[in-house]
Structure 1
C-alpha cells in the first residue's frame, strides 16, 4: 500500500467515525478517540485493535490523529541520499523520531514519538475534518 492509498483510506475511516459524533462537542469527540474506547467501539479503525495493541507505548493514547500532521510523504520520493530514496520525513525533526534505512530506501519512523497522541495537542490542532488537519502531509 502506498502512503497516498493509506492516507485516503485512513481519512475515510476517520470520516465514518465522525459521522457518528456530529452532535458531540470537541471534548467529547477527543474523549471518544481514546485508545480503550476505540478498541471497543471501532475495531476496524486500526489493524492493531484486534490484538488490543498500541502503536505507541504510552498511557492515555489518543487515536484522533492516528497519523501526525508533521509527517511528510511523497510516494515518488523526495530526494536521493547516498543511493537511497527518501520517501517520508518529520517536518519538525522530532527528537523522538528516527528513520528506517534499507538497502535503497529511507522512511520516517514515528514509533518513538507521541506528539500527535496527546489530547492537549489534538485540541490545539482540532478540526472535525481529518483531511484539514492533515492537509500538509503530502509534499
Structure 2
C-alpha cells in the first residue's frame, strides 16, 4: 500500500466516524475524547489494523487516535529526494525521529514521537475534516537527484 492510498482510505474512515458523531450532537471535546484508544478499540474496530490485537502504535497510557498520523509528516510516493541509489519517500517537517531503510527505500520512523497522539495537540490542531489538518503531508516536490 502506498502512502497516498493509506492517506485517502484513512481520511474516509475518519470522516465517517466524525459524521456519525456530529449527527449525534457531539461537540469538539466529545469527539476528541471519543477517539481515545480504549474507546476506539471497542467501538471502531476497523479504524486501525492494530485494534484487532488490542495493540497501541505507541507505548503510552493515554493515546488519542484522532489524528492517527502527524500533520508534520511529509511524503511523496514518487520520492522526495534521491542519493546514492536510495530514495527518500517520507520525512518529518520538524526533523524529529529517525529514518529506516528497506532495500533502496528510505522512510521516516515516527516510533518514538508522541506528538499527534496527545490530547492537547489534537485539541490545538482540531478540525472536523482530517484532511484539512493533514493538508501539507502529501508533497508535490520532485525527486532531487
TM-score category by the smaller chain? over 0.9
Distance of 2:111 and 2:72 partners within structure 1: 14
Corresponding residue for 2:92?
A: 90
Task: Give the match for residue 7 of structure 1.
Answer: 7
Q: CA deviation at 1:44?
A: 0.3
- Say if 2:102 is the partner of 1:105: no
CA distance in 2, matches of 1:92, 1:59: 24
Question: Following TM superposition, by how much is the alpha carbon of 1:81 offset from its aligned partner in structure 2, in angstroms?
Answer: 2.2
User: In the alignment, is residue 28 of structure 1 matched against residue 35 of structure 2?
Assistant: no
Secondary structure of 2:10's partner? helix
Q: Which blocks of at least 5 consecutive residues in structure 1 are unaligned?
A: none
Aligned length: 137
Shift >3 Å, 4+ stretches? none
Aligned-pair distance for 1:131?
A: 0.5
Which has the higher mean CA deviation after the structures are superposed, 103-112 or 67-76?
Answer: 103-112
Tell me whether 1:78 sits opposite 2:83 in the alignment.
Answer: no
Between the aligned partners of 2:103 and 2:84, the Cα distance in structure 1 is: 10
TM-align CA RMSD: 0.7
Structure 2: stretches of 5+ with no match in the other structure: 140-145
